[in-house]
Amino acid sequence: MTTLEDYLGKNAERMDKVINRYFGDLHGDLFKASAHLLLAGGKRLRPAVVILSADAVKSGSSDDLLPAALALELTHNFTLIHDDIMDGDVTRRGVPTVHTVWGEPTAILAGDVLYAKAFEFICLSDAADIAKVRATTMLARTCTDICDGQSMDIAFETKDDVSEMEYLEMVSKKTGVLYGAAAAIGGILAGANTVQADALYQFGVNSGVAFQIQDDLIDLYASSEKSGKDQASDIREGKQTLIAIKAREKGLDLSSYRRKLTATEIADVITLLEDAGIIDEVRAIAVERATVAKEALSILPDTEERRLLGEIADFFIDRSF
């Protein structure tokens, strides 16, 4: 029985090879810029979801779907390049962001190139034409949703009354739908019917939301040494996470923590949030989303691939960094 860790490791190796073949030796600033983050590594989780979903629908069908798996990674990377410009972030995956190296105009274009390549690679997959048209439509609608999610996220920066529902819509669009599309597109290209494709989409969206909520918890709990990021940066920046929203709804004022925090102060705010039951509630929502994700898979045949997809949902909420 393959463990998820082994599976993801082998998948990342395989995707790295595919990425190297297409993006490892490009000429000119624009194409080098578009390959920059892709070549900086990553867990290749979305390609793994594409391939597992295809095989969960029809055993062995993923053999010719590497281009589609790559398409989802390209879409993810295009959004990272554009988001980094908007957010003014200077490093990602341990390397300088694209606009930091090549400037904003080339970074905008580099994202646009990956965007085009994503659609091109969906069509390069070995699948029925009707399936490619469905997959293309799904990818297009997903990209619109992602833009909407990022736009909401930017708007949240100047709002202090974001509701739990608004937060969940934002993370569903910003993070969830691309996992939903990865699962559904894998299934569709393998010949999934509408019910199966919908189930895979629900699996992906809910897993993605769980992933993002866990990310917020990790920001609070993981030490800088462990995560490579500033601990409790969301609290310090007053970010509207599910934790902050629930705290506000319970009348807990975190505004005094919007500044550089010592380790003791971080421990204090964690105790405050735990004592108010907020951490348990947030954690429960992540667990619930992962459960909904796994339940959606129940209409698929009981296979190794279905099991691994379920384990991905569990992994998303169990990871500690």
Return the range that interacts with a copy of itself (CB under 8 A); candidates 115-123, 217-225, 246-254, 255-263: 115-123
| CB nearer a copy of itself, residue 84 or residue 305 | 84
Q: What is the token pair recorded at 57?
A: 């629908």
The DSSP result for 174-232, as a single string, is IIIHHHHHHHHHHHHHTT--HHHHHHHHHHHHHHHHHHHHHHHHHHHHS-HHHHSS-TT
Q: What is the token pair recorded at 319?
A: 């990871």
Any contact of residue 90 with a copy of itself (CB under 8 A)? no
Quick note: the x/- pattern for a copy of itself over 124-163, rule CB under 8 A, is x---xxx-xx--xx-xxxxxx--xx-xx--xx--------
3-state secondary structure string across 85-126? HHHCCCEECCEECHHHHHCHHHHHHHHHHHHHHHHHHHHHCC
Q: Determine how many CB atoms are found less than 10 A away from the CB of residue 76.
A: 22
Give the binding-site size for a copy of itself (rule: CB under 8 A). 41
Any contact of residue 101 with a copy of itself (CB under 8 A)? no
| Shortest separation between residue 306's beta carbon and a copy of itself, angstroms | 29
| CB nearer a copy of itself, residue 111 or residue 208 | 111
Reduce the DSSP state of residue 80 to 3 states and report it.
Answer: helix
| Shortest separation between residue 14's beta carbon and a copy of itself, angstroms | 24
Q: Give the amino acid at 106.
A: T
DSSP assignment, residue 65?
-
Considering only 104, 160, 230, 249, the residue that binds a copy of itself (CB under 8 A) is 104
Reduce the DSSP state of residue 237 to 3 states and report it.
Answer: coil
- Give the list of residues 6+ apart from residue 288 with CB closer than 8 angstroms, or none: none
Considering only 120, 126, 280, 318, the residue that binds a copy of itself (CB under 8 A) is 120
Considering only 22, 119, 221, 257, the residue that binds a copy of itself (CB under 8 A) is 119
| CB nearer a copy of itself, residue 89 or residue 281 | 89
| CB nearer a copy of itself, residue 130 or residue 267 | 130
Q: Which residue has the tokens 């439509």?
A: 137
Any contact of residue 85 with a copy of itself (CB under 8 A)? yes
| CB nearer a copy of itself, residue 166 or residue 295 | 166
| CB nearer a copy of itself, residue 107 or residue 290 | 107
Q: What is the token pair recorded at 97?
A: 């962001």
Applying the rule CB under 8 A, the residues between 6 and 65 that interact with a copy of itself are 28-30
The closest alpha carbon to 272, from 252, 286, 255, belongs to: 252
| CB nearer a copy of itself, residue 28 or residue 94 | 28
> Assign residue 238 a region: left if phi > 0, alpha if psi is -120 to 50, beta otherwise?
left
Q: What residue ranges bind a copy of itself (CB under 8 A)? A: 28-30, 82, 85-86, 104-106, 108-109, 111-113, 115-117, 119-120, 122-124, 128-130, 132-133, 136-137, 139-144, 147-148, 150-151, 154-155
